[in-house]
Amino acid sequence: MCLFIAGFWAVGAGLLLLALNMGLRRAELTDAGDTLQIEVRGLFGIHRMQWHLGELAAVRVDASGMEVNDEPVPELRIEPLAGKKVA
């Protein structure tokens, strides 16, 4: 029985960590001449990305699919010519 209840506690703790990471995550964008740099800081470390202007197809603001108080939450989307899109 204790093992069964511990499973629920583990799921709850995992969801709490993910929520804290989402709430505390910060991104810094830097335009250094012909280079776009992004640094994302969260609970689980720092992630850095960098593109030259010739590598980008588009940089735009679009709907994220989430809503707060029935208002859509926008997100910045970076679409490189090759590779994964970043939101």
Per residue in 13-32, pLDDT (tens digit) is 999 999 998 888 888 888 88
Spatial distance between the Cα atoms of 22 and 4, rounded to a whole number of angstroms: 28
74 belongs to a structural domain: yes
The pTM score is: 0.65
C-alpha angle 38-27-44 in degrees, rounded to nearest 5: 100
Q: What pLDDT, in 10s, does the model give residues 51-85?
A: 998 899 988 998 888 888 988 889 889 999 988 88
Residue 61 is part of which domain span? 25-87
pLDDT reported for residue 76 = 87
DSSP label at residue 86:
B
Number of domains in the chain: 1
36 belongs to a structural domain: yes
pLDDT reported for residue 64 = 85
For 16, the token pair is: 């709490």
pLDDT reported for residue 23 = 85
8 belongs to a structural domain: no
Spatial distance between the Cα atoms of 11 and 42, rounded to a whole number of angstroms: 20
Spatial distance between the Cα atoms of 80 and 34, rounded to a whole number of angstroms: 14
